[in-house]
């Protein structure tokens, strides 16, 4: 599954995520601090979605969110969209 998430309140403007069987395969931040966003993307590669959410949710940078927090929110949203109704 591919997810495109428009961020709010962080330096990155969008996050592109690829998830297979509940595991993050690839993450790309559009805009933002290149070194930091590349590091976050590399660290979550191969990680289960639930674990990434647990580790990243609530991390604040400028204000009450950050690029890692926005990634957690995008992952949460992706979980909601894949649950059967």
Q: Is the pTM of this model over 0.85?
A: yes
Tens-digit pLDDT profile for residues 66-80: 999 999 999 999 988
* pLDDT tens-digit map of 22-57: 999 999 999 999 999 999 999 999 999 999 999 999
Contact between residue 8 and residue 77 where contact means Cβ atoms under 8 Å apart: no
SS3 content of the chain, % helix, strand, coil (to 5): 40, 30, 30
């Amino acid at each position: 599954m591919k997810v495109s998430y428009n961020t709010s309140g962080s330096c990155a403007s969008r996050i592109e995520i690829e998830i297979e069987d509940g595991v993050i395969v690839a993450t790309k931040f559009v805009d933002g601090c290149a070194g930091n966003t590349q590091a976050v993307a590399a660290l979550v590669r191969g990680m289960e979605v639930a674990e990434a959410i647990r580790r990243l949710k609530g991390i604040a940078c400028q204000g009450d969110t950050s690029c890692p927090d926005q990634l957690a929110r995008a992952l949460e949203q992706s979980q909601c969209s894949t649950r059967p109704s």
